[in-house]
Homo-oligomer: A and B are copies of this chain.
Amino acid sequence: MKKVAIVGLGLIGGSLALALKGFEDYEVVGVARRQATVDYALSHGVGDTATLDAVGALREADVTFLCMDPDQIVDYLSEHRGDFKPGSLVTDVCGIKGAIMEASKVLPPQVDFIGSHPMAGTEFSGIEHAETGMFRGAHYIMTLRESSTPEHADLLERMAKHMGFRDVVRTTPEEHDAIIAYTSQMMHIIAVSVCDDESLFTCKGFEGSSFRGCTRVAALDVDLWTQLFSHNAPALLRCLDTFIGHLQAYRETLADGDRGKLSEKLAWSADRKRQMDLPGPDLLQ
């Protein structure tokens, strides 16, 4: 039987360990740092088995998912560069790819690395919130090395399908980080900035689905997002400046008091949104 090791059993790692169960002829081995997490995984069936012995697991794993913060992944790759099984595939689940692909260069040539970004998550963290259905309908993004084997890329694609992802998108680390600054990181900056309004608490009882939808992710994992934002600051700053410009354009149109102009501008934006047609797993309707 082949083995896939999931290193780090938090929200995403735990969900991977649940969702990967039953994949082909692979045994899913969870690797945690705390006995309590191992016990939880074993008693709740998060993966087929779980262990504290990272080195032992890495040496036997045909595929290893690193499910940690960006900085931890960078350190882990360096620390364990000699522990991965020759010929195996190592991947991650991190929301930035440039820094991770760079860090993966410490691996010996006989270990392949493909960057992964499963675009899923909730505002919660920890194995207790892991769910087997976490990835249903979500996008799985992959960044390959030039030297990555087609067999490894295909294997990851099959794993993503097994876990319920809607599709697998291949891109470069640079493109990934530029787009994610807009579609994900900026959404988090918007959410926290909305919550900085001093009238936040007095508005309770007056919030509808638009407010909940926009601010849901403001209750973020501070350490994780500090790292993600910092690793991608130039791209994120460009997006924020563009966004602030678009907000100010609406502000000026509104201040002008010209209803015709406002209506035209809204029609243009609303039409762009309709063209996007983004059904998702997380919103009813």
Also in contact, A225 and B282, with CB within 8 A (given A218-B273, A273-B191, A275-B201)? no
Also in contact, A233 and B209, with CB within 8 A (given A189-B247, A192-B266, A193-B243)? no
Q: Mark A247-285, 1 if CB is under 8 A from B, else 0.
A: 111110011010100110011111011111010111111
CB of A151 closer than 8 Å to a CB of B: no
Which residue of chain B has the shortest Cβ distance to A219 in the bound complex? B273
List of B residues within 8 angstroms of A280 by Cβ: 207, 209, 212
Also in contact, A207 and B139, with CB within 8 A (given A199-B179, A213-B282, A222-B270)? yes
Q: How far is the CA of A201 from the CA of B280 in the complex (A)?
A: 16
- Near B by CB (< 8 A), chain A positions 119-174 give 119-124, 138-139, 141, 167, 169
Interface residues of A (CB under 8 A from B): 119-124, 138-139, 141, 167, 169, 176, 179-180, 182-184, 186-220, 222-223, 225-226, 229-230, 233, 236-237, 239-244, 246-251, 254-255, 257, 259, 262-263, 266-270, 272-276, 278, 280-285
15 A-B contacts, Cβ less than 8 Å apart?
Answer: A141-B205, A182-B203, A183-B211, A190-B247, A191-B210, A192-B250, A204-B276, A207-B280, A209-B216, A212-B282, A215-B278, A219-B273, A229-B262, A244-B244, A283-B283
Identify 11 new A-B residue pairs, CB closer than 8 A, beyond the known A141-B206, A215-B273, A229-B262: A122-B209, A139-B208, A180-B206, A184-B207, A186-B194, A192-B250, A193-B250, A195-B272, A196-B246, A197-B246, A226-B262
